[in-house]
Amino acid sequence: MSLNLIMIDHASKDKRSVKAMLQGFGDGRERQWESFKKVYPSLPLEALMEKFEKEARYGRIGTTFKQHLATLIALPS
């Protein structure tokens, strides 16, 4: 076995990784979360995460988020 092992960090090149997101090379999920957080600034984090998960599950987060924004605000919590 070779004693000259070199560790290479590939996380910065993987668009799904947190390291890539923090460096600005993520796949965009962090932008969707940040824009969703701005819509509901008064919700506690736990409730916000639950609401985000439901909206993402039904396909209301992402490219169609702006279309559903008015509906989300109009719906009672």
What pLDDT is attached to residue 44?
A: 94
Q: What is the pTM of this model?
A: 0.55
What pLDDT is attached to residue 59?
A: 81
What is the CB neighbour count within 10 angstroms for residue 24? 7
3-59 pLDDT tens trace:
777 888 888 888 888 888 888 888 877 888 888 899 889 999 999 999 998 988 888
| Cα–Cα distances in angstroms (integers) from residue 15 to residues 22, 31, 48, 77, in the given order | 10, 13, 24, 34
Residue 60 has pLDDT above 90, yes or no: no
Separation CA 69–CA 25 (nearest Å): 26
pLDDT grade, residue 73 (50/70/90)? low
What is the CB neighbour count within 10 angstroms for residue 62? 13
Separation CA 42–CA 57 (nearest Å): 22
